Chain A
Amino acid sequence: MKIRLLAGLLVLGLAAGCGGAKVEDTPGSAAPQASSGASAGGTVKIAINPWVGYEASANVVAYLLKNELGYTVELPEIKEQLAWEGFETGDVDVIIENWGHPDLKQKFIDEKKVAQVAGSTGNKGVIGWYIPKWMADKHPGITDYKNLNKYAHLFKTSESGDKGQLLFGDPSYVSNEDALIKNLKLDLKVVTGGSEAALIKGAQQAQEQQKPLLFYFWDPHWLFSKTELVRVNLPPYTEGCDADPKKVACDYAEMDLDKIVSTKFAQTGGKAYELVKNFSWTNEDQNAVADDMTNNGMTGEQAAKKWVEANTATWQAWIPK
């Protein structure tokens, strides 16, 4: 019986294989593009990057695509840089919130021409190093990077050994931390929490239990409305100071967060593409949705629905005529 079952599966597999071979037959076709053809019709694939603000934007767009325009939406969990590769393979149509990445833009937009920018999200984004407010009150001058070494011992943990800990998030996040520590000669060690949640939990514990913590974080984020955080001042950003990633010795720049779509989607996405292109909202909008998702027990869809119902005027403008 088993053998017959296997034989059946084998036939199925072979039949499927022949289908695959035919796709390849089209001369000169770059294989990866072939598979994305199917998604352009009724399905939109929005990559989910691992932070809740991104998810908020993605869920609102997905909600509108589904309920206003009748598309099917897939939300695959793909991290930032891999998502760019997804443009090439057809696994991703849209990155809804892109933080800079000039190198990727050059590669995938300018060189490979598989992606293009679809306007700003309206959000201003900035990355920085933060401490809980009580620390800034207790230790004057700690917010100046020049004094960090003096207080480094406060940040020691079992993970960081004899240096101070700088808690980092998901490995895929935009990061200059190693270069900054090296170039500013700080007595710190990057400890990777592995996720946004680890950062949030760390920050909350630091607040509640008065535990010292220095961590990587970013705005827009709902956490700022719940926990008092103070940014550490690194040498101010100047145009081009972050050109060479190894020599960075300045703070992160404030970024216009933008949307990236695959070229294929831009060409064949129709109304879905229009909607993505028109999507633009404020940091407050995003924080509201993200807060509902994280703290009010809502799923992404529920939180998006709540926002959509309350902000008709905003999203009406995005819907293509």
Chain B
Amino acid sequence: MSATAVGTRSGLRVPGWAAPAGIAVLFVAGYLVFRGAGTLPHDDDAPQFLAITDLREWVDDNKNASPVFLYFINYIRLFVGAIFVALQSALHGLGWPGLIGLMAGLGWLAGGWRIGLLGAAGFASFGVLGVWESSVDTLALVGTAVLLSLVIGLPLGVWAGRSPRLRRALNPVLDIMQIMPTFAYLAPMVLFFQIGAPAGAIATMIYAIPPAIRITALAIEQVSPVAVEASASLGATSWQTLRKVHLPLARSTMTLAVNQTIMMALSMVVIANLISAPGLGSDIIRGLSRQNVGIMLPAGLAIVVMAVVLDRTTMAAAHRRAHERTARWRWPVAAGLVAGGVALTYALPPAFPGQWVLPMGGPVNDAVRWAEVNWYDATEAIKNVTSEALLNPLQGLLTSAPWWLVAAAVLLLAWWSSGIRPALTALGCLLAIALLGLWEHSMVTLTMVVVAVLAVLVIGLVLGVAAARSARYSAVQRPLLDAAQTMPSFVYLLPALALFGPTKFTAIFASVIYAAPPVIRLVEQGIRAVPHPVVEAALSAGSTPGQLLRKVQLPMARQAILLAANQGIVLTLAMVVLGALVGGGALGYDVVSGFSQRTDFGMGFAAGVAIVLLGIMLDRITQGADRRSSPHQRNSV
């Protein structure tokens, strides 16, 4: 497909930027002629929305009559609820010293005293932050979601790892699950599972299960085929080979799957609080709705600490050598730690002692107030300039241009960048959005995504290049990126809200700091991956560092940079819609509105779908870009 596009290009001998520039010129020309005609203004009461709302009412009325609900969906709800309650009471039952001891024991088993200490200190910090109860609830919710994800995901992953056919069938589904911003499926959750912990756990599971399946399948696939063949040659049954060869050899990669599943669950679990699941998210949402950073910060920190502890513990477990000699006293020590903790539970007060709690609210709020007062002019200026100079004009352009003009531009752009098939998919998504009645809001969201992605790419390129060129700077930056990547997305809303108040710009700011770390990292890796001999050759030819960068490193890192752009877009979209909670508006707001106002349910539901469609569209426009890569590769395709 791309060959045809490329053929015309090289046939005409036009420079690479000509095509997008041409599309832009055509678009602007078309806009000047047709502006204001053929727009699709937003209507809160579009018939599509009303139909979905009616459907919801109908489902609601039949919840206790329909066998689907009585014997299936309600049953799932109960089952998940029971797991949650069991975990929750088990964790609470351990008492705070018991739970700290348990984490220390697990950490010790996974990675020795360092990890054990980290686990104990980390979990103790929940108490110190004054959010012990919520933290345990969050842990129980994450536990439930992760348990479900693994119980379903691991066997499915193992199966997919051994059956290419299943893998091919699963791939597009998992793709969509991963592009789909978490926000989008909260509304259907409420529809089927109502509000509360079970719905939260299931929503979290949907988000967390793709890595469980994907990485497990990969782990199984990567098992040395010779070992598998050797096992078969000795007459092992397929089950024996699975148990004795595949699973043990895939173990450490599968632990990585567990790690990723936990991380994904942690970042979603906070959002699940929007549908009244218990836990730390509740504090964060309360803080957001009071614009009180003092309430949010301890909860936000607790989430980060939880993420770091669970991440390091599972990573340590994954990195343990397959047959490391296990010291005889490993298990007794772990058991001792747990038993010691549980014993202390009886000796110490049942609730985390109040005098050990670090009162943060006051000082933090003072600091925020200070920043608000003293930085007000600066932040206000940044916000207003960006909004007036970039956001509003672009938004105006997209919302007042005829829909068919935008669609045509998207088609051409996607065709140029990825080929005809992805272009048609992108066009299909756009048309579906129009049919959903969410054109205008989608264009507003698109504007925000475009602006945020541009910012992310600029930051990513600058910092990535800097890191690739200076080992010292890279060493400083790396731990920061590590920390940033373990943080659940919600946490980024805090500083954004504190600095800029609830506006669209705030949502963009939050998504930029959310999406930048992985992009920076990809760019750095891409440039570092340029083969050393090539760099040496360029240097020996007398290139200046600037020439080296422009003529050798950036062109050769093109693939990595395009991948970074694709990643940046997916992440930005997820965060931009989440930004509805801090004034982002548009599709994200429709979703929020959908589960806070019954009459808007239809709009919220449709907006969830539109977000997914927008995600697929953006993905299709950019995903092909890395396939086009360099000229020789093009010829060989």
Contacts and interface: CB of A to CB of B under 8 A. Distances in A.
Answer whether A and B touch in the complex at a CB cut-off of 8 Å: yes
A144 interface: no
B507 to A, nearest CB: 10
Interface string A209-244: 000000000000000000000000000000000000
Residue with the highest number of chain A CB atoms closer than 10 Å, among B82, B278, B503, B589? B82
Contacts of B85: 16
A140 to B, nearest CB: 30
Contact of B86 (A2, A19, A86, A103): A19
A197 B64 CA distance: 39
Contacts of B581: 194
Contacts of B290: 52, 195-197
A86 B289 CA distance: 20
A192 B194 contact: no
Interface stretch (A3-11, A147-155, A274-282, A305-313): A3-11
- Tier of interface size on chain A: 35 or more
Interface string A74-111: 00111111100110110100000000000110000001
A262 to B, nearest CB: 14
Contact of B502 (A9, A48, A76, A193): A193
B255 A2 contact: yes
Contact of B64 (A1, A30, A246): A30
Given A77-B285, A194-B583, A1 B110 contact: yes
Contacts of B583: 159, 192-194, 198
Contacts of A35: 78, 81
Given A16-B82, A76-B278, A197-B292, A159 B504 contact: yes
A117 B313 CA distance: 50
A172 interface: yes
Contacts of B45: 246
Interface stretch (A20-28, A58-66, A124-132, A248-256): A20-28
B156 interface: no
B276 interface: yes
Residue with the highest number of chain A CB atoms closer than 10 Å, among B81, B150, B289, B317? B289
Contacts of A16: 82-83, 85-87
B196 A91 contact: yes
Interface in A281-320: 297
A13 interface: yes
A17 B82 CA distance: 6
Given A91-B195, A159-B387, A198-B291, A20 B81 contact: yes
Interface in B565-610: 580-583, 585, 589, 592-593, 595-599
Contacts of A178: 44
B90 to A, nearest CB: 7
B194 A17 contact: no
A151 B292 CA distance: 33
A246 B289 CA distance: 28
B78 A34 contact: yes
Interface in B159-202: 190, 194-196
Main secondary structure of the interface of B (DSSP, over half): helix
A101 B70 CA distance: 29
B341 to A, nearest CB: 16
Interface string A29-51: 01110110000000000001010
A6 B150 contact: yes
A158 B598 contact: no
A24 B81 CA distance: 12
B502 A32 contact: no
B144 to A, nearest CB: 8
A161 B593 CA distance: 22
B342 to A, nearest CB: 16
Contact of B392 (A21, A158, A175, A197): A158
A30 B73 CA distance: 12
A20 B82 contact: yes
Given A24-B75, A192-B585, A12 B90 contact: yes
B503 A159 contact: yes
A171 B86 contact: no
Given A13-B147, A171-B589, A194-B288, A20 B79 contact: yes
B77 A31 contact: yes
A185 interface: no
Contacts of B545: none
Interface string B49-86: 00000000000010110000110001101110111011
A161 B392 contact: yes
B401 interface: no
B478 interface: no
B627 interface: no
A86 B196 contact: yes
A76 B200 CA distance: 14
Contact of B289 (A10, A104, A197): A197
A146 interface: no
B74 A31 contact: yes
Nearest to B79: A20
A171 B592 contact: yes
B141 interface: no
Given A1-B110, A159-B387, A10 B285 contact: no
Residue with the highest number of chain A CB atoms closer than 10 Å, among B64, B69, B70, B110? B64
Interface string B284-311: 0110111110000000000000000000
Nearest to B395: A161
Contacts of A88: 194
Given A12-B86, A16-B85, A159-B503, A81 B598 contact: yes
Contacts of A103: 598-599
A20 B288 contact: no
A23 B511 CA distance: 44
B195 A85 contact: yes
Q: Which 9 A/B pairs are nearest by Cβ-Cβ distance?
A: A20-B82, A172-B596, A31-B74, A16-B86, A197-B291, A158-B387, A195-B289, A30-B64, A20-B78
Given A17-B79, A158-B388, 10 more contacts: A13-B147, A31-B74, A76-B276, A78-B195, A82-B190, A85-B190, A172-B596, A193-B583, A194-B581, A194-B582
9 contacts: A3-B251, A12-B86, A13-B86, A16-B85, A31-B78, A77-B282, A85-B190, A158-B387, A297-B362
Interface of B: 44-45, 61, 63-64, 69-70, 74-75, 77-79, 81-83, 85-87, 90, 106, 109-110, 143, 147, 150-151, 190, 194-196, 251, 255, 258, 273, 275-276, 278, 282, 285-286, 288-292, 317, 361-362, 383-384, 387-388, 391-392, 396, 501-505, 580-583, 585, 589, 592-593, 595-599
Interface of A: 1-3, 5-6, 9-10, 12-13, 15-17, 19-21, 23-24, 30-32, 34-35, 48, 50, 52, 76-82, 85-86, 88-89, 91, 103-104, 111, 158-159, 161, 170-172, 175, 178, 191-198, 201, 245-246, 297
